[in-house]
Structure 1
């Protein structure tokens, strides 16, 4: 016989899951008992976050790194509601996640039990309904197996995201027969969606004679990015990425024009204009504010658009597009490459021009500041230096606020002429944009990435919200370099108020020595007041050894980040 918790873990083991992230409590104790048994046998083990939101962020990061489902759990009542922000963040970013929450015993529903969150109390099931792909209460042990499999199939489908199982205390304590493990997991074999052949041929015919085009890679283009880059090289077309997909193209590629959209580059905007692109091919991304530069009519939103994705949710807003194709985009890329004939003249002849360490698409004052080593640290110079100093295997996360603005605009992916890893190592949580996301997610990524270093760039505002998760990184001996952009303010708010001619209010934070805070919990730390301080550190050694390290970087608070697109949207109603 198995407890219900053991049954859940057996299925998760078959999917390759190694960790469950959460915070224990009375109503979820039977599941933690199952985790204890699992850990003793060398199976899935529990990682204890300091806050349930952090646990959800960790599961998010684990899923991004492994491509498997991330798992988080919480007890009844406030444990469940604390998960909500992290779950919503994963939902907005299409991250597969299994969320397990406890309920008080069924026979106590409606009686005011401690932390009751049933349909007759504070109804947490209703709360999860709008931010999950599947959401259900397990009211009988006999339901568990089938509902678990339904949930997993939704989480790992073509429109991935979080799923939620609410399990009462007495149900979780029930036992089931071992034989019930006979059900298969064939629904979770990666089933490729092949696009309609007629649609593919129409795209090929439309593009055959096009001389000027721009390919826009979104985050879901990861499985076909090499083919689209190859096509751009053959046709001498422009390459652009959305903010989420920045890590798919070498920043120094001669045909790469940078990021279009949120915190993007003017050269990417120019590459999408009608005079420079007869067709715009968007691969694996949604037409949201972040990827369309605030729904700019001069960019993606025209009949010139060819929109390709395996995720039907990406295509719902493409009503203006000339072509919309549902299915794996690589089939379209392969058909286009085949149509071009022999490939002997491919970009072995690509000319990687000499570079000063900053891509050509970084312009104006932003470019000048990349080389400024005077006074308080310029965020532009910090990003430029770190992106060159960190090993090519470094996983990088940029938190909500000025952190991801500077990261999108200034983090350099790769080195000139060198191939990139066959994965996206650049991560932002920009869909729901939860402050502190990167802190928890960096722990989940680090646990999955083994010895590979993880860089988390966050602001002091986000760190004051979620910095306690650094103690989880220390407890788990995670190789995370935590970089805090310390300007004693909510920087994005402060600069936004100035740029939007709003009242300067509620943006100041206390002056805090975050290096001393880290030292107090036993984490190696350094306070960086000038770029020379950073140059003196042996980052290679720091990133090569286990355990976290924190850099408290006093940045120039007067440097305004690249947030013009965001301000345009905010000011539209004025």
Structure 2
């Protein structure tokens, strides 16, 4: 949870809207803003220049990348990510990154410049609000809140609302448009807040009676299951709440699964963890969900909307067996409860408060020791099986590198508190399935929207926010080509981020998927050939952007260079890129035969 902040307002003789924005940036603990300057920001750039002692404006290489960097900064630190770009194309370039932050529950404020109001509607270059390109309408549809600061009289109300919405639960992306003339407009009777609790707060409770009912229902089951989504991530950064979660599941022997985007919020090395269910999931959840000797008969979901990737396209096996089997869904957002599956009990509540209430109720519960021990034994039996679809590839030492083996080497070589960012593409499947994440390590994806290039930028923001921790991105070659120019940003600001690039010269998630579902009998390689990337020299590309880069084609080579890579990134602050030549025919664990339709006949 964010701590209350108190700061005295700036007191120039005639404070302006720009002064007011800088005051609230400081009040909210903003230390970095990310973006690209332009004429629509001209007057606000003076405010940023005059406040370089407290706020650093990180100049990125492209506005989408700036938004990804700000998103990574928020995810790694829990602090608001702020993006500042100019009007027109500056604003639209930022759109994908901001929309992705909104979809994944990241707190982000996008501030876009705008032309002088006196030129509205006259065809001024890059006009964004009153012209054909209505920036406010675009971001109203894409974010949790969007507004135009039209004068000094409404500025404070609007900026407070933006912070209130961005830092609500769930977190949101918000947008403010600032006409260039408004930023220097004097404030009338300005009385700026001196602490954040004066204008925003967050829900901190769950209905105790409903918590007790849910706990009673779940504990009456012989084979209950706890399913945690990304909506629990923020709550579980609080160690007291995290320990209460462990206390609850360990007391009653309840196995835990997570969604792919919630991977690692519960330790995957824990004896009660069945790891991930859904996209690229572990094999253990299927065994538990489909057991016939003692059937799975109750589930409690906390912080998941139960979307497609979290449920294997809403596979019915997630529904527990039995006419009165509890299906309990807990979320702060009542709009998503029972959206995908009918529930026996829906609870609108904050995840952390709900988990803490569960722990507080433990002493009042009579523990069935025999049942709990029998259940723990059943879980242990399941976990004697391999969690992997293809364990041979995980233990392979062949060249080129099996992507599963790449994950094994990373598992063995990176520090235990590494922040890992996963891009969109096949790298999601390999990392979700084959890595085992345990706090303090953390694992971040962008699976709500799935934009390529997210992790390429996000890892830079994470390292800026957490310079003393290893921050590493696992990306495909296509995504790396999209946003790899942000390596230059990392170089300029001495940010020792690390990129692991899976090189197969192809958009393989698409080509393999099309070959699986729409094979061409006459030209079996057509899909692979259609989506090749032209064999770019990514080594030279990374070096030209300022990174130290190397290429490996075996697990042994990767293991050999990792200590130096970590040293150069973390102590010399030099961006590091490792191009991994992977087996081009390796298929990620998206096509698990126990879930998917049969492959089309060739």
**Normalising by structure 1, what TM-score?**
0.90
Could you tell me which of 327, 334, 346 is aligned with 1:305?
Answer: 327
Give the equivalent residue in structure 2 for 1:548.
Answer: 575
- Gap change, CA 1:551 and 1:304, over 3 Å in 2: same
Secondary structure of the 1:57 match is helix
1:398 aligns with 2:425: no
Give the equivalent residue in structure 2 for 1:384.
Answer: 408
Q: Render the CA deviation track for 1:277-326: whole Å, top value 9, x for unaligned.
A: 21111111111112111111111588632111234344251661111111
Residue-pair matches, total = 556
C-alpha displacement at 1:113, in angstroms? 0.2
The CA RMSD over aligned residues, in Å, is 2.9
Secondary structure of the 1:76 match is coil
Give the equivalent residue in structure 1 for 2:231.
Answer: 220
Mapped to 2, the partners of 1:471 and 1:295 lie a distance apart of 42
Q: Render the CA deviation track for 1:253-275: whole Å, top value 9, x for unaligned.
A: 22211210111123213323475
- Contact 2:63 / 2:85 at 8 angstroms: preserved in 1? yes
Q: Render the CA deviation track for 1:468-517: whole Å, top value 9, x for unaligned.
A: 01111111111211111000000111111111125644311121222222
C-alpha displacement at 1:521, in angstroms? 3.1
- Contact 2:457 / 2:486 at 8 angstroms: preserved in 1? yes
Mapped to 2, the partners of 1:559 and 1:399 lie a distance apart of 18
C-alpha displacement at 1:205, in angstroms? 2.4
Mapped to 2, the partners of 1:447 and 1:90 lie a distance apart of 18
Give the equivalent residue in structure 2 for 1:322.
Answer: 344
Give the equivalent residue in structure 1 for 2:298.
Answer: 279
C-alpha displacement at 1:362, in angstroms? 2.2
Mapped to 1, the partners of 2:75 and 2:490 lie a distance apart of 17
Q: Render the CA deviation track for 1:446-477: whole Å, top value 9, x for unaligned.
A: 11112111011111100111100111111111
Mapped to 1, the partners of 2:261 and 2:100 lie a distance apart of 14
Mapped to 1, the partners of 2:598 and 2:116 lie a distance apart of 47
Give the equivalent residue in structure 1 for 2:586.
Answer: 559
Give the equivalent residue in structure 2 for 1:417.
Answer: none
Q: Render the CA deviation track for 1:42-64: whole Å, top value 9, x for unaligned.
A: 20110111110011111111111
- Contact 2:485 / 2:545 at 8 angstroms: preserved in 1? no
Secondary structure of the 1:115 match is coil
Could you tell me which of 321, 340, 357 is aligned with 2:365?
Answer: 340
Mapped to 2, the partners of 1:226 and 1:479 lie a distance apart of 32
- Contact 1:384 / 1:412 at 8 angstroms: preserved in 2? no
C-alpha displacement at 1:29, in angstroms? 1.8
C-alpha displacement at 1:529, in angstroms? 1.6
Q: Render the CA deviation track for 1:135-170: whole Å, top value 9, x for unaligned.
A: 111121211111000111111112321111111111
C-alpha displacement at 1:444, in angstroms? 0.9
1:84 aligns with 2:132: no
Mapped to 2, the partners of 1:144 and 1:183 lie a distance apart of 16
Mapping for residues 470-481 of structure 1, pairs under 5 Å: 470-481=487-498
Give the equivalent residue in structure 1 for 2:523.
Answer: none
Mapped to 1, the partners of 2:448 and 2:109 lie a distance apart of 19
Mapping for residues 112-127 of structure 1, pairs under 5 Å: 112-127=123-138
Mapped to 2, the partners of 1:376 and 1:336 lie a distance apart of 54
Give the equivalent residue in structure 1 for 2:261.
Answer: 244
Secondary structure of the 1:525 match is strand
- Contact 1:2 / 1:178 at 8 angstroms: preserved in 2? no
Structure 2: runs of 5 or more not aligned: 1-13, 521-525
- Gap change, CA 1:500 and 1:94, over 3 Å in 2: same
**Normalising by structure 2, what TM-score?**
0.86
Mapped to 2, the partners of 1:8 and 1:101 lie a distance apart of 13
Secondary structure of the 1:119 match is coil
Structure 1: runs of 5 or more not aligned: 415-419
Q: Which moved more, 1:246-255 or 1:145-154?
A: 246-255
Mapped to 1, the partners of 2:72 and 2:319 lie a distance apart of 29
1:441 aligns with 2:458: yes
- Gap change, CA 1:343 and 1:516, over 3 Å in 2: farther
Mapping for residues 453-532 of structure 1, pairs under 5 Å: 453-502=470-519, 504-505=526-527, 506-532=530-556
Q: Which moved more, 1:11-20 or 1:201-210?
A: 201-210
Mapped to 2, the partners of 1:68 and 1:431 lie a distance apart of 21
Mapped to 1, the partners of 2:384 and 2:475 lie a distance apart of 23
Mapped to 2, the partners of 1:203 and 1:14 lie a distance apart of 40
Give the equivalent residue in structure 2 for 1:138.
Answer: 149
Secondary structure of the 1:167 match is strand
Mapped to 2, the partners of 1:44 and 1:151 lie a distance apart of 19
- Contact 1:399 / 1:457 at 8 angstroms: preserved in 2? yes
Q: Which moved more, 1:48-57 or 1:210-219?
A: 210-219
Give the equivalent residue in structure 1 for 2:70.
Answer: 59
C-alpha displacement at 1:550, in angstroms? 0.5
- Gap change, CA 1:442 and 1:156, over 3 Å in 2: same
- Contact 1:221 / 1:283 at 8 angstroms: preserved in 2? yes
Secondary structure of the 2:126 match is coil
Mapped to 2, the partners of 1:311 and 1:343 lie a distance apart of 34
Could you tell me which of 166, 186, 191 is aligned with 2:197?
Answer: 186
